[in-house]
Amino acid sequence: MAKLNILEFPDPRLRTVAKPIEKVDSTIVKYAEDMLETMYDAPGIGLAATQVNIHLRLIVLDVSDQKNDPIFLVNPVITRAEGEIESSEGCLSIPGYSEPISRYETIEYEAIDLNGNQKKDVANGLLAICIQHEMDHLQGKLMVDRISSTKRQLIRKRLLKKQNQRA
């Protein structure tokens, strides 16, 4: 496995809409494994392929306390959603920031697993929030799109300044 580079806001590549995966093959499995290693190392609880400059509909998640229950979702689709929950969300592509974001509390979703099998499931609470957050990435959306433009511009300026200092 290999650790991948996580793109940081305001990198324009984060705005790319991911393409559907036509077939789960060894390349997709390798991407998923590398993404999982990258997510754990960051550390985070979810990572979309878009965040590592792979513009395919693939996300990895692990909201378990022991970080031993990874979930791999290929071409995820939310089929039903209900309730509302607000929580403080952070993002590996927006390091050092968290903001209150409203999401659906419960979702039903469909996806393909790494064996190529179709799956349907229900997610609540943190897992539901995480899936929605990562699916936003696949659409080229970021959590900063869900906050005020003033806050978004402030975060953008601060991150650009940090990025320029590292360069």
Residues tagged active-site = 134
Closest CA to 64 of 43, 94, 38, 78: 43
DSSP line for the chain: --PPPPP-TT-GGGGPPPBPPS---HHHHHHHHHHHHHHHHTT-SEEEGGGGT--BSEEEE---TTS---EEEEEEEEEEEE--EEEEEEETTEEEEEEEEEE-SEEEEEEE-TTS-EEEEEEEHHHHHHHHHHHHHHTT--GGGGS-HHHHHHHHHHHHHHHHHH-
Q: How far apart are CA 62 and CA 44, in angstroms?
A: 8
* Amino acid letter, 16: T
